[in-house]
Amino acid sequence: MNHVSMDVLNAARERAWSMPLAQIAPADPQLFKDNAQWPFFERLRKEDPVHYTADSEFGPYWSITKYKDIMAVDTNHKAFSSLSTLGGISIRDQRADFPLPMFIAMDPPTHDEQRKVVSPIVAPGNLAVLEHTIRERAVAILDGLPRGEAFDWVDRVSIELTTQMLATLFDFPFEDRRKLTRWSDVATTVAGPGGVVETEEQRQTELRECAGYFMKLWNERVNAPPRGDLVSMLAHGESTRNMTPQEFLGNLILLIVGGNDTTRNSLTGGLYAFSQFPEQYQKLRANHALLDSTIPEIIRWQTPLAHMRRTAIVDQDVGGKHIKAGDKVIMWYVSGNRDDEVIANPNELVVDRARPRQHLSFGFGIHRCVGNRLAEMQLRIVWEEILKRDLDIEVLDEPERVLSTFIKGYTNLPVRIRN
Amino acid sequence: MPKITFIEHNGTAHVVDAEIGASVMRAAVDNNVPGIDGDCGGECACATCHVYVEPEWEAVTGSRTESEETMLSFAAATKDNSRLSCQITVSDALDGLVVHMPDGQH
C-alpha cells in the first residue's frame, strides 16, 4: 500500500474506535471509496453486531455485521422482504417516480416464477456449452495485452471480458457491447456533478435508451422461434412474456449489473489481492490445482457487492436486537466475510483455505446469485490462461475504488506485464 | 460407521464412511467427494449438495422439508427423488445408501 492509503486507513481506525458507538454509520460511500470501512465493521462485529443507525442520508437502518446473523436474515424471506415497493435490495430506496421492478426485488411467488425463466441459461449444462467461447475470448484478450508498458487492468481485461460475456448471453450486437457497460454503470450510480451521470434526469434518459434498444431485440426475437439467449428466453418465457415495459427494463438491468459489475470487480480484486499476498500467488503458481479453492477465495476476499438490503415485514429478533416491521435491514456481506468466528484469518487471501466456498458473496436463500457458477467459470478460465502463460503482472499503484456502499469495486488498476 | 456410496454424473462411485449424526452432505465434503459443494455449510440455503436418492431408501431418509422444496425448485435438473444431502442425517439405518449426483450444482 502506498503512504496515502495507509494514512487514510490509520485515521479511519483511530476514528472508528474512538467515536461513540451509537454514531457509527457504515453506509458512507466515501468510506468505501477510501477502502476505510474495515475498522468500523471490525468494531461493530466486536461491540454491537446488530447495530442501529438512527440518522443517515439513507434514513435509519440496521447493520447486520456477523456471518451467522446475516445467514439468519438472508434465509428468512418470510420476515425480510426484498420487494421494490418497500425499497428493494439496496440501501438507497428505489425511486417511486421511476420504479425498476426486477425479480431480485420481488418476493415469492412472482420472484420464483421469473427467476426460473432465467436460471437455465446459467445452469451447469449450458455453462459447458459457453466455456469454449469464454476461453477463446479470454485468450484473445490476454494475448492482445501490451508487454512491458503500463495499462489499466480494469478497462482492458475486467470490463472487456465481462462485457463480451454479457453480449454473448444476450446475443447482443457485439460492436455495441460497451453500451452494456455504460448502462450497468448508469444503473448503479448516484447522479451528481462529476459523476457517471450529472442528473437523475440524464440517468433516466439513458436507461430509457437501454429499454428502447432491448425492446428492438425483444421484438425481433418474440417473432422468431425460441433460442438460448436471455432476451429470447424472456420473450418466450411463460412468466415473463407479458412483463410491463418497466418490468422488462428492471429485469434487464438486473441481468446487466449482475453479470457485469460483480465478475468485473472480482477479476480486478484477484489480481490486486495477489499483489498484497505475493506468496499466495507463488503457491498457486506451483500448484495450479489450487485454483478450485482460489476462485471462491477471491470472491470472498473481494465481496463485489458490499451489502444486500431487506425490509422487515414482521417484528423479528436478530442477534438479540428487536427489529420492527418496516425497518430497513442491511446485510453487510463485506463484514460477514471478515468474521473470524467463521473464517480464520479473514483479512488474508489464502489460496488453499479449508472450506473456501463458505462465504457470503453470493448471498444465501431464495435470492442467492443465479449466475454464481458462470462467474466462477469466467474467473477460473482467466486465471488458468494467465498461469498457463506464466504472465508476470506487476501492480504499479493502488487502485481507484468506486464511490458506492453497494458495488464494491474498482475504476482503475494500473499494471504492467513484465517482458 | 455406515457406508454411503456417491455416484458422480459420469458414473464414478465413491464409497465413504459417514459419521453418525452428521449430514450426508458433510460425509461427502469431509471425504473430498467431487460434485457435492455444500456452499452454505448445511443451512438448506444454497442447493449445492443436490443428490438423487433411490426410491427404496425414501422411507429411511425421510422426505423433503418445505424450505428444502423451495431451494430445490431453483436448482437445475431436479427430479421427484431430488434431495439436499445436508438435510439427511446419517444413522446406522443409512448403511449402504446409494445416492446419485446431477451434472453440476447450481
Q: How far apart are CA A414 and CA A119, in angstroms?
A: 36
What local confidence, expressed as pLDDT, does residue A124 receive? 85
What local confidence, expressed as pLDDT, does residue A97 receive? 81
Count of other CB atoms within 10 angstroms of residue B44:
21
Name which of A226, A257, A245, A233 is nearest A116 in CA terms: A233
Domains in chain B, CATH or no CATH each: 3-98 (3.10.20.30)
Q: How far apart are CA A412 and CA A398, in angstroms?
A: 9
How is residue A165 written as a grid cell? 460475456
Q: Does B102 contact A124 at a Cβ distance shorter than 8 Å?
A: yes
pLDDT tens string for chain A (419 positions)?
Answer: 555 678 888 999 999 999 999 999 999 999 999 999 999 999 999 999 999 999 999 999 999 999 999 999 999 999 999 999 999 999 998 887 887 888 999 999 999 998 988 888 888 888 888 899 899 999 999 999 999 999 999 999 999 999 998 998 899 999 999 999 999 989 888 888 888 899 999 999 999 999 999 999 999 999 999 988 889 988 998 888 888 888 888 888 888 888 888 999 999 999 999 999 999 999 999 999 999 999 999 999 999 999 999 999 999 999 999 999 999 999 999 999 999 999 999 999 999 999 999 999 999 999 999 999 999 999 999 999 999 999 999 999 999 999 999 999 999 999 999 98
Write out pLDDT tens, residues A78-133. 999 999 999 999 999 888 788 788 899 999 999 999 898 888 888 888 888 889 98
Chain B residues within an 8 Å CB radius of A78: none
Question: Residue B70 above 90 pLDDT?
Answer: yes
Question: To the nearest whole angstrom, how far is the Cα of B69 from the nearest Cα of chain A?
Answer: 11
What local confidence, expressed as pLDDT, does residue A237 receive? 87
Chain B residues within an 8 Å CB radius of A373: 104-106
Q: Does B40 contact A71 at a Cβ distance shorter than 8 Å?
A: yes
Best residue of B10, B26, B39, B50 to probe chain A, by most A CBs closer than 10 Å: B39
Superfamily of domain A3-417: Cytochrome P450 (1.10.630.10)
- Provide residues of A within 8 Å CB-CB of chain B: 71, 74-75, 108, 112, 115-116, 119-120, 122-125, 127, 355, 357-358, 362, 364-366, 368, 370, 372-373
The three-class DSSP label of residue A306 is coil
Minimum CA–CA partner of B30 in chain A: A355
Question: To the nearest whole angstrom, how far is the Cα of B57 from the nearest Cα of chain A?
Answer: 27
Minimum CA–CA partner of A125 in chain B: B103
What is the C-alpha radius of gyration for chain B, rounded to an integer number of angstroms?
12
Confidence band, pLDDT 50/70/90 cuts, at residue B50 = very high
Best residue of A357, A377, A380 to probe chain B, by most B CBs closer than 10 Å: A357
Q: Which spans in B1-106 are helix H? A: 24-30, 58-61, 66-72
